[in-house]
Structure 1
Amino acid sequence: MSENATPDPYADPLRFGQRAQILRERRGMTQAQVADLLGVSPHTYRKIENGQQKAPGIETVLRLAEILRVRDLADLTGRPEARVDLFVGPGHPRLTAVKAAIDGFPLTNRVEPPPVAHLEARLHAAWKARHASMNHREAIGALLPDLIRDAQALVRHCGSAVERRAAQALLAQTYSLAQFFLAYQPDSYLLWRAAERGMIAAQESEDPHAIGVASWLLAQAHRDSGSRHYDAADLVNLEAIRFLKPLLPEASDDVLAIAGALEFELGYTAARRQETGTAWRHWDKANDIAARLPETYYHPVTSFSHAVMRAHAVTVAVELRQGGESVRQAARAEQSVIKSRPRRARHRIEEARGYQLDNQPDVAVASLEKAYEAAPETIRYNGYAKAILLEEIESTQAPRRRRAADLAGKVGLLTA
């Protein structure tokens, strides 16, 4: 290896601080940025990297892994026996088939397209299956390859501009469904292809709802790529909101809801930046939009609704690291019923993060158990849930340690 090459964090012997420095630099982050997100002074964080301070406790290690988007805890600790996937689960058995359908671009008309109404009905059924299933990747992964190929064929066979726009809207919706399957799978480039192709198809469709959904998903892809991409996430969200704003006075419930979902995404990203006032201001705006919707309404893609806005309040407080406020918001949200199983599980995980911040680890583990009951696959692929369980497996309290270990075994956390 040349003198100018970036060291390999697997190479021994490397101190914990050296590994943290290498991984931080690979993400293009400064020491000050990491220190701010970690909740310590730049001076303290500098001492961690320089080895002038003993290796931090597991809570700090896991928080640092989260900030640096470390996919395997061994990358940070240098301990192969602690090899744990934190942010990306093992590839789903149906990933290969879904990937082949997304990557394929047939240039001939060998595939006979289905009638538009038939494809619409299949997509509607797929979204229902996604929300109702305890293991939504299995449910939609079985449907996606044929849906993708048929939607692509429908676009190719269009005979008029009107037909083509309608077909592009269905193709955009299909790519949106694919992104829910691809999230936390070990192929981030495939997720980006689906997100960008979905955005292009939505723009070609000129359908406001399709454009809003594609923007919502593309913004999330940017935000989840790390802090350097937060501005890009905001840019996508803001542009979509500006596009939809003139339509809102007479908009359908679905268009109104996607506008609200986009508004909340701005708040979510602000919370990630620790911008408290901005985060809650966007939550308020999104909540005002939700208030215009019927009490029983649920957006078919995002689950945006009265109930989910209460769950979103928990997320904002958690991202701002406000433990007490997270718990208060969780208590308010407890009265709400989130119909989507994976979304309900995601809320329980956010709730668990809040209880962990508030030093209530037993309640945090109980919340993760509820997440598992709602949708085992959701918790299996969620890095935050894994981080909490990994911490509580080491608890000095035997009952909590046993509960955490039991759940960790169910989700495959410690599987080699």
Structure 2
Amino acid sequence: MSTGTKPAELSDIVSSVRRHWILVGFISLLGLAVGLLAIFVIPVQYTATASVSVKPLTADPLSTSTDSTRAVNMATEEQMARSRRVATAAVDRLGADSTLDVQTVIDGTTVETPQDSLVLNIVHSAPTARQAAAVANAVAESYLEVRRTDATQQLELLQSRTQEQIDRLKPLKANPDTEATDPGRRLQGVQADSLGSMIAELARIDVTPGRFVSRAVAPTHPSTPGAAPLGIAGLFLGLIVAVPVALTRKNEQTEINDVDGLPVTEHQLVLDGTQDDEREETWDLAAFMLKIPKRASRGRTIMIDGGEPASGRLAPGQELVDALGRRGETARFVDAGEVDGRVIGQGWPTEAERRAWNGEVVIVDTTNLLSDAHRVSVAENADAVILARSTADDVRTLRRLVGLLESKGANIALTALFPPRPEYTELTTTQ
């Protein structure tokens, strides 16, 4: 019988979890244990944050028209705060008592910028709360100091170049007669006076790089997850693993040698529904395990034999049709008891009839047939055979039928086991 993979539905998952609750519980508890053991594997970390505001420093400190939002590139400032230069200065600032190296400071430090702000949040993670706060503050202070140094050097360079130009113009300005008769010399004198004013302006420029918004304080709790979050995460991971395992086990070939006295043959796929609350649940699982193909060139025939007819209850074949319908599959129910025995004996259903079914799935119920020979004849021409048996059925009758089916090469795809039928229980009680 050709197969096609169907996704598991919610009812299948719930049923599988309930049927294999011991396995699911064991794997979930194993995940919980792994989560709790992770406490001893994941190193404890503390996180502290220092915040500094960044003051715009333009390329030309004398310019009064520069927009501060364009004068500071916060992405560049973030990279500077995490640079090796700043980390080296931070290690020096921490002093000789610190055992940290530059790379450790870089690895443990992250820098964040709130949107549309000129604030840097310098975050450092360390094994102790005091170390986390101390390094965060040291990095922030070193960043401001490096920025102040760069601004001071830039200012000194401007002052030096301006003074050089003034020194070149001083001899020309010292000769008033030449300046009065030569327009070019007069212009140079004006330039010298202007440069002198620039020197005075440069001396008043503020090179403050920024300031602390808040200093880092030693955190009171670690930033790494504790026992409760790790345990819950492990339990959830265990459930994620357990459910697919339970669904897989539902499709595995099993061997049940004896269920309440009912033997089954070796190498059969057995669906034990003796603990299910409703027969519908067992048939839902049977429909899931069959994996009915979406399309077929000819009709697919599945033979259902339920032993003795149960009065006041749907035929087993109709129960499977209903279960397939709940999964979105269409199937046709045929009661073999209403087919002429001579037709069955001649090899029913024939190949022509199967082609006429135009790819339909046909469920043939042989429960009402009185002859095992007719059952075997139907099974020979069926793609699969399902035996639906109660654990109170006659063991010898079942063995005889299975032997006949196997002797003719019939494909017993599934044996579905059900609890004792109520009418049998009532009959036993009355006697």
Output the TM-score relative to the length of structure 1: 0.23
Q: What TM-score, normalized by structure 2, do the two folds share?
A: 0.22
Higher helix share: 1
Q: Name whichever structure is richer in strand by fraction.
A: 2
**Which structure would you say has the larger Rg?**
2
